Structures are given as C-alpha cells and as structure tokens.
Structure 1
C-alpha cells in the first residue's frame, strides 16, 4: 500500500529514525515469509503481504525504526527468545500454550476460522490422514481427533501433500486456503473450525515496554478504522474484522 501523503510519511520516518538513533536501537520484526496473504516474499525478494503493510504502519505510529527478518516457522519462537529479533508478526494465533513462553500484544485480527480442504468433497476428514504445518494450532487440533496427523515445515508442503495423494486433506487458516479453492486445486470439506484467540504480535517477556508501544499502535488502528480497512483489502471482504 502506497503512503497517501509522501511528505508526511517521510517526516514520520525521519522522526522515527531520530528516535531510534537516540536510543541506539533498531526494532527487528521476525516473520515467516511463506504464509500468504499474511506474509510472503515478493518478486523483488522483499517481505510483503498483510503483515508487512501492518507492521510498517505500526512502526510508524509507534515512532520506531524497524527492519524485517525472516525465519522458519518451526524455530520462530526460540529465535525470538534468543534475541535474533525483537517481535514476531507472522500469522501467529494467540494461545495459552504460547503465552507461557512469550507475551502477546492484543490481537490485530479477530479469531478467524480454520478449514479443511481436499482434492475432492468425499475426503475423509474424521479418520483420514490430515496435513498441517508443524507447531500450529491446526496441528494440535488434528492430534486431538481421530485423524492421523501428517506435519510439514512449510504451509505449501501441506497443500502439496494433498495434491500428491500423500494426505487426504489439509487443515489450515481459511484465508490461506481460499486461493487454492478458487483456482480449483482444492475444495473445502466439512465445517469451519474455530481455533485460537485471533492473531497477535509476540514479544520476549523481558520487553514489556516494546509490547506496550505496539499495543497502543494496534489500538489506535482499531479506533480509527484503519485496521479493518487493511484486513478487508489484504485478507478479503469476508474476513472477520473488528
């Protein structure tokens, strides 16, 4: 999304850089870069998607200078805790289990449904083999059902497992699966599954001040309607909003 007023954007960026330089810090935002439409790598090799636009706007409102770092999903929390970046903004659902390790901001998307998708509508999602990304709320859900869980490091691999016949279906965020159903690769099967408490940013428990800055920025975007507009633009008109 282009800044509407280049001059004011430049001034905000300059102010943010001055603030960051005065404290000698650069805030590093960690994301996966492999989960469209939330985050992905574009043709120029840059982080793009809903969370890139959102993160840049939050940094602007918090008057922070930020840079983006990509990290594989299966180690994204450990690398936050070890200091490789300062916050996670990567389609991460807020759960009690994760909250024991990191501190979450308030959610920047409401709880949205997960869905099963398969190559055909008669796929067995009750007792079949279901693919999910490792370390996700979807994988945890499958493990509690009568189905067989088949985990993969990346979300694209879960879809490939279905198209190759290795898995009967995939369970993932519905927003992620919609493009595969629209192009005819997959079809939705069964009912949507409500999981998690919405998506939020994650921080080290030792960084409450940074979390509070982003919390305030998220709230300001909720208050002025900017966040809802951004959700509709990047996640779709039917995506839950505030």
Structure 2
C-alpha cells in the first residue's frame, strides 16, 4: 500500500513539473454528460465545460488538451497523472475533497431530480437508477429506495425506458432536455433534491499553484459576466447564475 501511495505521489510530482515546463494542461472529462460535456459529430469533446475550459486556459496563458475518461475511474486517473484536471460535471463534496482539490464552483449548487415513465411513482420505495460513483447514487443508497447503478448517464435513462427501473435520479439540468424531447414519455416525479456544493474543477492536491491560477480566472469570469453568459447559452435563460 505504501508503495502504491508513493508511486502515485511521484507521478503527481512529475506531472506538476511537466506543467511548469511546457504550460500544457490535460483536461480530463467524461464526454457523456450533455450539456456539461459530450462528444460531437466530429468526434471532439464539446459542451459547456469544453467552452469554459478553453477560455480558462486562454486567460491563464495555458494550452489545453482534452482527454476522455470513463466516469468510474476519473478521479484515480487524475491522481495517477493521466491528466491534470477534471472538468466533468463533478459536484464538490467533502468526500471527494479528501482525495483531490477543487477550485471554487463554476456552476452554482442546483437540484437533482427524479424522472419516470409514468406519473405517481413513489420514489421513496421505487427502484431508482443512478450513475455509479455519483452523489445521486449515494443519496439513493441511503434513501430507502432500491438503487440500481449504471456506468453511464445514458444507461440510467435507458433503464427507465425499458422497465429495469421505475425512475432515474440525476442532475436536473441533465434531465430537462431529455424530458422535453421525449414527447411525454418521460416526466418529472417526486420533489427536487439539493445536493453538493456546485460543480468545480478537480485537481491533484499537489497542484496548488495550478488550482489557484484557475481559481483566479474563474473569479474574473464571474466578475465580468462572461461565465453567466456561458451558463445561459448552455443551460437556458432561466438557469441559476452568479
């Protein structure tokens, strides 16, 4: 165990040295959680976090390279040095903050919500789908409902459509367009649930200087209104802003 910890620390240190030398930052994302992040028709990372991340790097005078990684290993691969940041719709939580560092949030704290294929679902006792290793899965596990976990957000919604689950529980902003585009096949049920401390950029605990650099730029974008403009572009005029 000590060998593994020391090895991870050495990788993190060498990654930090590489950043200092060439100013190239590898931005880790899932690429499967629109509108936060997704893969477009050209096979490239796209979405709110792609636009925001590129602007953050531009203002910080850094070069961004985007790396796609599955959600269930996104934190371990950050710690191991496979990329330098996480921008993947990741909510800031005390549990995650014990393993990695976060910038201030660049998306305000918002609600999670339930979506079902039929009205009247009792979410307190239902079979509820959620993505593995999310704050939503953790909440359902302690709620009294039956949790079924899936590797991707698409699979959680598919589980409701095909009858494997009574409802899906996820970020409301992820679910809104799916409900709107379903022609009545999907609907919100139950009450919204506030979870997490907003969405922030994750970094290794050893990269405090890089965290502070991005944190300062996020503050600038909040102050000059450009972050609010991006939020409204990707999440609609009624989204929560700063």
Structure 2 equivalent of residue 205 of structure 1 = 205
Corresponding pairs, count: 223
Q: In the alignment, what sits opposite 2:103? A: 105
Superposed CA RMSD in Å reads 1.3
1:125-179 Cα offsets, whole Å, 9 max, x none, are: 1101000000001000001111000000000000000000000000000111011
- Change in 2 beyond 3 A, CA 1:58/1:25: closer
Write out per-residue CA displacement over residues 100-130 of structure 1, whole angstroms, 9 at most, x where no aligned residue: 0000000001101110000011122110100
Q: Extract unaligned runs of 5+ from structure 2.
A: 1-17
Q: Deviations over 1:196-237 (max 9, x none)?
A: 000000000000011011001100000000001100110112
Sort the Cα spacing of 1:214 and 1:166 in 2 relative to 1 into closer, same or farther, 3 A: same
Partner of 2:15: none
For 1:189 and 1:24, how far apart are their aligned partners in 2? 50
Structure 2 match to 1:92: 90
Partner residue, 1:117: 115
1:21 to 1:115, Cα distance in 2 relative to 1, 3 A:
closer
Find the aligned partners of 1:86 and 1:126 in 2 and give their Cα distance: 39
2:74 corresponding residue in structure 1? 76
1:118 and 1:24 mapped to 2: Cα distance?
A: 48
CA spacing shift, 1:93–1:65, aligned 2, 3 Å? same
Give the Cα–Cα distance (whole angstroms) in 2 for the partners of residues 130 and 78 of structure 1.
26
The residue number in structure 2 matching 1:241 is: 241
In 2, distance between residues paired with 1:29 and 1:40?
14
**Alignment deviations for residues 47-73 of structure 1 (CA, whole Å, 9 cap, x no partner):** 000000000000001110110000000
Distance in 1 (CA, whole Å) between partners of 2:156 and 2:91 is 18
How far apart, in 1, do the equivalents of 2:93 and 2:19 lie? Answer: 35
After the TM superposition, which of the residue ranges 121-130 and 81-90 deviates more from structure 2?
121-130
Asked if 1 retains the 8 angstrom alpha-carbon contact of 2:108 and 2:240, the reply is yes
Q: Is the 8 A contact 2:122 2:190 kept in 1?
A: no
Would the alpha carbon gap of residues 114 and 226 (structure 1) be closer, same or farther in structure 2, given more than 3 Å must change? same
Worse overlay, 68-77 or 172-181: 172-181
After TM superposition, give the deviation of residue 24 of structure 1 in Å: 2.5
**Separation in 1, partners of 2:152, 2:106:** 23
CA contact (8 A) 1:29 1:68 kept: yes
Q: Matches of 1:84 and 1:180 in 2, distance apart?
A: 32
Instruction: Tell me the TM-score normalised to structure 2 length.
Output: 0.90
Which of residues 167, 184, 209 is equivalent to 2:165? Answer: 167
Do the aligned partners of 2:115 and 2:168 also contact (CA within 8 Å) in 1? Answer: yes
| Large movers: runs of 4+ above 4 Å | none
Contact 1:112 1:239 in 2 (8 A): no
Tell me, in whole angstroms, the C-alpha distance in 1 between the residues paired with 2:20 and 2:28. 23
